[in-house]
Amino acid sequence: MKKYYITTAIDYANSKPHIGHAYEKVFADIIARYKRLCGYEVYFCTGTDEHSLNVAEKAKQLNKDPKTFCDEMALNFKELCRIYNITNTDFIQTTEERHKKSVEEVFNRIHKTGDIYKGHYEGWYCKSCENFYNQKELLEGNLCPVHKIKVDLIKEENYFLKASKYTDTLLKYINDNVDFIQPETRKNEIVSLLKQGFKDISVSRAGLDWGIKLPIDNTQTVYVWFDALINYISAVGFTTENEKFNKWWPADAHIIGKDIIKFHCIIWPIMLMSAGIKLPKKVFAHGFLLNKGEKMSKTRGNIVDPVNLVNVFGADAIRYYFAAAVVSGQDGEFSEESIILRYNNDLANDFGNLVSRTLNMVEKYFQNIIPEHYRELFDEKMSSLVNQINNLYSVYSKKMENFEFSGAIENIWSIIKIANKFIEDEAPWNLNKNNKLKELANVIYILLEVIRVSSLAVQPVMPETSKKIWQMLNLDYETDKFDIEKELKFGLIKSGHKIDKSRILFPRIVDEKK
């Protein structure tokens, strides 16, 4: 069986999840579900980054042990995965023993190559992103360029990784492996950073109690980013389960935010090169969800509660909005008003209306039995719609493989819209009135196939909706035993098959703010 290993970035455990966390997990889940439809065995990992300074400070404020606090916070992220129907295989916490062993082994390997040395560090440090900055990178007033908060001047003796030694090697790797960093804009940023000359990086901090102790010096703690990045290999058994690790690594895709590309596209590959471990196949950096043009973040206090959104709209509606309204790799504006507009127009009016009208006609004209179809009687509009169905996979699969979800949905919705117009043009009520039963059967059969095929293609995005439609069509699909290329073809739903009654998929929402 083909296999696919996908990860999200792991999330800081210092506060509850926000909508950006949900977006990234849904993004990765859409890929994971699509790959399963294509016959892949998927390992999908997410988790929490627990050794940050923020975590220790927050636990102290609450008079809690940091580990206890982290376990409590991890439950919030696990619950986020549950309510958004995220199908992750694994949830890793960086305080786990399996992770600690992997971190120590990676550090020891790098140390043995001679790529670790002790030196003095002085620079600006942001607690929120756990990142060091030079003066040129800061905003006016010594503010972090990401979080726009004051940074601290750090002076201490640390251990360093000889990152500069690998700059040319990494540049060559990026040029030779054109899909390694996506989208292209992010790749260009990384290439520019490397060409400027990437300096050696600190991989430890002095005087911290919370974190993994350096194997060669217990007065130092492993720098949190060095620690956190290793989760991608510790999750699949690096040093702890060799057979599992050999099966799943290298990862097929790391899904991350665009603000952490330096860590994932420079530091992480250099760490792996030094340790003699294969690099991941692809790093895809998505954009931000914006609230009135600003990135949503805990620091700025403009976050949207992802749990409340699901309570109001349902998980599928939010998943659909993420996929349809936000172009992959770009920033996207996010508001309840825009969700309502998409929900009513795309889901209630287009898709929901098509399903409801069609299934009601099957009940009215054929007693819930799928009729025969007569291809010799297909008119031009019927043949055109059938061709649209048969051509769906070629465009849809390319879009999905490239993580272009909005393009894939646009392709599906073009067929749904054509099908709705097809009902008006063919007027099945008149065909029934005029006793043109074969023509009526053709119209109904084609519409049922549009619904079946659309429900399959949209399953990675809206799994609950697809399942409801399959139940109405009385179809028993197992998405882990599937060949979507074969299924996205016209003529597979069987005549004589009894279906269930129609149920409303998307009740219209009234925007009370208007």
* Cβ-contact 267, 225 below 8 angstroms: yes
18 among known catalytic residues: yes
> Active site residue: 18, 99, 286, 373, which one?
18
> Active site residue: 144, 264, 373, 399, which one?
144
Q: CA separation (Å) from 333 to 180, 240, 245? A: 27, 43, 39
129 among known catalytic residues: yes
> Active site residue: 70, 126, 264, 399, which one?
126
Q: Hey, how many other C-beta atoms are within 10 angstroms of the C-beta on 308?
A: 11
Q: How far apart are CA 117 and CA 343, in angstroms?
A: 56
295 among known catalytic residues: yes
Q: What is the 3-state secondary structure (H, E, C) of 417-444?
A: HHHHHHHHHHCHHHHHHCCCHHHHHHHH
Angle at the Cα of 422 from the Cα atoms of 410 and 499, rounded to 5 degrees: 90
289-291 and 294-295 as β-strands: parallel, antiparallel, unpaired? Answer: antiparallel
* Cβ-contact 211, 224 below 8 angstroms: yes
Going through 261-352 in order, the beta strands assigned E by DSSP cover: 283-286, 289-291, 294-295, 332-333
Chain center to CA of 335:
19
User: Of 349, 341, 500, whose CA–CA distance to 420 is shortest?
Assistant: 349
> Active site residue: 99, 295, 373, 399, which one?
295
Facing residues of 118 across strands?
159
Element (H, E) at 34: helix 19-37
Q: CA separation (Å) from 207 to 5, 62, 177, 202, 511? A: 37, 22, 40, 14, 54
Q: CA separation (Å) from 258 to 180, 289, 393? A: 15, 11, 30
C-alpha atoms less than 13 angstroms from C-alpha of 300 in its C-beta half-sphere = 18
Element (H, E) at 411: helix 405-426
Q: How far apart are CA 185 and CA 173, in angstroms?
A: 17
Q: How far apart are CA 36 and CA 481, in angstroms?
A: 8
C-alpha atoms less than 13 angstroms from C-alpha of 372 in its C-beta half-sphere = 6
* Cβ-contact 181, 190 below 8 angstroms: yes
Q: Give residue for tokens 């954009």.
A: 287
> Active site residue: 64, 213, 244, 298, which one?
298
Helix axes 167-176, 268-275, angle to 10 degrees: 100
DSSP structure class, residue 91: E
Q: Give residue for tokens 């007065």.
A: 219
70 among known catalytic residues: no
3-class DSSP state for residue 62?
coil
Phi, psi for 275 (deg, rounded to 5)? -85, -5
> Active site residue: 129, 254, 286, 373, which one?
129
147 among known catalytic residues: yes
Could you list the active site residues? 18, 21, 126, 129, 144, 147, 295, 298
